[in-house]
Amino acid sequence: MDNSLKTFIRHALKVATDYVAMLFVFVIFSFPIISLSGDNPSTPVRWFSGLLFLGLFSLVYKDLWEIAVRERRPQYEINPKPLRGLLLGLAGISPVALVLIVIAVLPMTGLEILQLRMLQAVAVPYYWIAKLMDASSPMHRVPFVVLPFLTAFMAFIGYWAGLSDFYLMQRVYKLIGYTPKKRVRKPLKKTRKGFWGM
């Protein structure tokens, strides 16, 4: 591992693949959710979007945490800074943001609903946040373009946590007062086996 542009792009692509993975999950489960929800699929899709947001956060956090742990090792001589996580996140989410910007600025006269649905589909992990804003506003499409940049902040948090030995689940367990049980391996019992090993 080195500090080259090739390594930077490879690490940034992890953020993009995490985002695309959540889009695939949406594509797989969207039809059953929409068909089972009847006439008003907005609420179930909003809840599903919230779950995708949590899934995206956990994937990005884990990947960037692992990258930071590797990069801080002295043998690589990278000397990483926490801001590198934000840069990795911005570079990784930029292809998705570019697609959203292209969809948003395309002149689709008479196809405004299709344009909005395309924006919602590509920015689906942030759909639940965008739905909190006023849909009647002329700027109601802007959140779908801006919100995916939160992914860069997720990457920053994961990278910073990896650099500073911050274990998120340990803090969550401590906050809620939960102590995970330690697994104790039981010794194998010696049993007499017959001729056929039974």
CB atoms within 10 A of CB 75: 6
At 137, is the pLDDT very low, low, confident or very high (cuts 50, 70, 90)? low
Q: Is the pLDDT of residue 91 over 60?
A: yes
State residue 189's pLDDT score: 62
CB 150 within 8 Å of CB 18: no
Query: In this structure, are residues 44 and 33 in contact, taking their beta carbons and an 8 Å threshold?
Result: yes
Q: Model pTM?
A: 0.78
Give the pLDDT confidence score for residue 130 in this predicted structure: 78
Q: Does the pLDDT of residue 86 top 80, yes or no?
A: yes
Lowest-pLDDT range of 145-149, 167-171, 180-184: 180-184
Q: What is the structure's pLDDT at 16?
A: 92
Q: Tell me how far apart the alpha carbons of residues 169 and 172 are, in angstroms, rounded to a whole number.
A: 5
